[in-house]
């Protein structure tokens, strides 16, 4: 059962990438997806708090949740989803997943946290190398990039920025878990609320449309995945069979599947540097995940 939950976590995490890729290729916009996604996760936070009898508001949870909402709204929605529309899915998923570096780095700020090992430092070094290599990935080689009219350097600059916001988002999760462990749904609700407000401001500018059918499908699907991953991962970590391998597999397998799906389903043709960046990125995720086991 433990391994089944781990498999469910991996598949659900990986499914968000082709789901959003499909929506973006059928008229959805990053802002439209993000608005629906934020509404779904906000509702999940409120309902989860009521059902679990955990506080919806906690000062630390709200602070880190608000900071996480800015990082998520700007990083994942406005930047990474745009990268997903114009460039290769595998490297995009890898770059965002490498925000785990920020999650691990944040443990240095937490008293009595697990100190980084040699493997973690190796993972940090590999992450920095991957970020540099991503600048060599030629996004215009993919059909979606050609269709979007993206310039050769647009994807490279954006994906590095998305990685930075992802690292910040991961750090807020760790810090909220340390300083407000009794309010996980409060963190989720605060993150969703701030992200929603940010995206509504962007949508009200008139430069992008409001959510349509593809936005609703992708946003609701991704929101449900995000809301469901918390109890699934907690249950899997509590088991004895999957726990020793849970974290490295759960963080490395989804982008690996996204790379394969991008190559097989979307026929993404990466350069040698692109494949090296993806392979090294998966290795970095495994190394960064080792302190969690």
Give residue limits of the domains in the chain: 2-292
Per-residue model confidence as pLDDT tens digits over 195-230: 999 999 999 887 777 889 999 999 999 999 888 775
Q: What's the pLDDT score for residue 244?
A: 52
Q: How far apart are CA 244 and CA 248, in angstroms?
A: 9
What's the Cα-to-Cα distance from 157 to each of 8, 115, 138, 232, 255, rounded to whole Å? 33, 32, 11, 34, 20
Stretch 19-26: mean pLDDT, rounded?
A: 92
pLDDT at position 16 over 80: yes
Instruction: Give the separation between CA 179 and CA 171, rounded to whole angstroms.
Output: 12
Poorest-pLDDT segment among 120-134, 157-171, 174-188, 245-259: 245-259
Radius of gyration of the chain (CA): 18
Which of these, 21, 11, 22, 15, lies nearest to 80 by C-alpha position? 21
Token code pair at residue 126: 């590999």
What is the pTM for the complete model shown? 0.86
Only one residue has tokens 């597999």, namely 249
């Amino acid at each position: 059962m433990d391994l089944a939950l781990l498999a469910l976590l991996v598949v659900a995490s990986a499914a968000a990438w082709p789901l959003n890729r499909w929506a973006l290729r059928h008229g959805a916009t990053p802002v439209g997806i993000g608005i629906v996604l934020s509404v779904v996760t906000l509702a999940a936070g409120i309902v989860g708090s009521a059902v679990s009898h955990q506080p919806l508001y906690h000062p630390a949870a709200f602070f880190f949740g608000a900071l996480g909402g800015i990082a998520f709204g700007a990083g994942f929605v406005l930047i990474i989803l745009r990268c997903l529309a114009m460039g290769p899915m595998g490297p995009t998923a890898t770059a965002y997943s490498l925000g785990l570096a920020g999650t691990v780095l944040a443990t240095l700020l937490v008293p009595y946290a697990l100190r980084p090992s040699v493997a973690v430092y190796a993972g940090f070094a590999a992450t920095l190398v991957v970020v540099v290599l991503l600048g060599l990935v030629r996004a215009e080689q993919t059909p979606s990039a050609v269709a979007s009219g993206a310039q050769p350097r647009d994807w490279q600059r954006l994906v590095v920025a998305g990685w930075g916001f992802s690292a910040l988002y991961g750090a807020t999760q760790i810090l909220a878990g340390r300083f407000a462990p009794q309010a996980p749904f409060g963190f989720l609700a605060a993150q969703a609320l701030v992200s929603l407000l940010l995206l509504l401001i962007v949508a009200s500018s008139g430069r992008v449309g409001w959510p349509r059918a593809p936005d609703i499908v992708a946003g609701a699907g991704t929101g449900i995945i995000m809301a469901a991953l918390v109890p699934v991962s907690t249950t899997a970590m509590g088991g004895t069979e999957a726990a020793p391998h849970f974290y490295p597999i759960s963080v490395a397998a989804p982008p690996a599947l996204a790379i394969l799906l991008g190559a097989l389903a979307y026929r993404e043709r990466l350069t040698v540097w692109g494949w090296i960046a993806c392979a090294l990125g998966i290795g970095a995720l495994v190394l960064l995940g080792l302190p969690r086991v």
